[in-house]
Amino acid sequence: MLVALRSLTLVWPGLPWLWLRGSMAGLVLAVAFAITLDVAIVTTFIWPGLVELPLTIGCWTAAGLVWLASTVSALAAFPAALASPPPAEVDPLFIRARDAYLARDWLTAEVRLREVLDASPTDGEAQLLLGTLLRRVGRLDEAATALEKLAASDSGIRWRQAIAAEQRRVVAARQAAGGNPVPLPLADEPPAEVTVEKESGPNRAAA
């Protein structure tokens, strides 16, 4: 079933890489195809006299060629499903990252969180904690980018309220900093909605 759903992304140029990988190149291709197809439809069915016939034919030809080329390319190198390692492999990494975070060992915490995300790119909890860490050490642009990426992904659905709370903290931190890139004073609060004493995974409940 999942394979069939993933195959449906072949219908639109660039969608396999955009939907399954968040690729910027996939986004550009998908938008370019949409514009070309819209122009072809408008000049053919809505305002047929808007442009010369050769231009209309050219739009349809371009749309067809883009669709054919992108479909063939996607079939040749269809993005594989993201690996989802078992919790037994990921949870110990997250616990070490969480412990380092609570100990304010920011460097170790960031390294461990990135290890978690290398092993499990769809781990929303790790992404949220990383965004929170970046905000607390004053890397506000990176924090905002990480949170926006999480909010736009399926992984962020269950953390929607926590993401919104963190985004508000980033905005407040920017206002307090007045545009100064110097790291902000660190508060003693735990990350919003990132459970510290009670984690979602079976092994994350262990301290």
- Cα 198 from chain centre: 25
Domain count for the chain: 2
Q: Is residue 183 part of a domain?
A: no
* % pLDDT > 70, the chain: 74
Structure confidence at residue 26 as a pLDDT band (50, 70, 90) = confident
pTM of the full structure: 0.54
Q: Residue 140's domain is classified under what CATH number?
A: 1.25.40.10
Mean pLDDT estimate for the chain: 78
Determine the structural domain holding residue 53 and report its residue range: 2-76
Q: Is residue 205 part of a domain?
A: no
Q: Is residue 156 part of a domain?
A: yes
Do 66 and 97 belong together in one domain? no
**How far is the CA of 154 from the CAs of 13, 131, 150, in angstroms?**
21, 16, 8
Measured distance CA(14)–CA(78) in Å, rounded: 11
Q: Is residue 186 part of a domain?
A: no
Q: Is residue 47 part of a domain?
A: yes
pLDDT over threshold 70, residue 60: yes
Q: Is residue 191 part of a domain?
A: no
* Helix runs in 22-52, H state only: 24-41
pLDDT over threshold 80, residue 107: yes
**Residues 112/100, Cβ–Cβ less than 8 Å:** yes
Do 72 and 95 belong together in one domain? no
Mean pLDDT within 173-200:
52
Mean pLDDT within 185-203:
41
For residue 196, the model assigns a pLDDT of 43
pLDDT over threshold 90, residue 145: yes
For residue 114, the model assigns a pLDDT of 94
Do 21 and 61 belong together in one domain? yes
* % pLDDT > 90, the chain: 32
Distance in angstroms between the alpha carbons of the first and the last residue of the chain: 38
When computed from its CA atoms, the radius of gyration of the chain, rounded to whole angstroms, is 22
Measured distance CA(89)–CA(10) in Å, rounded: 33
pLDDT over threshold 90, residue 1: no
Do 50 and 93 belong together in one domain? no
For 151, other C-beta atoms within 10 Å of its C-beta total 19
Q: Is residue 171 part of a domain?
A: yes
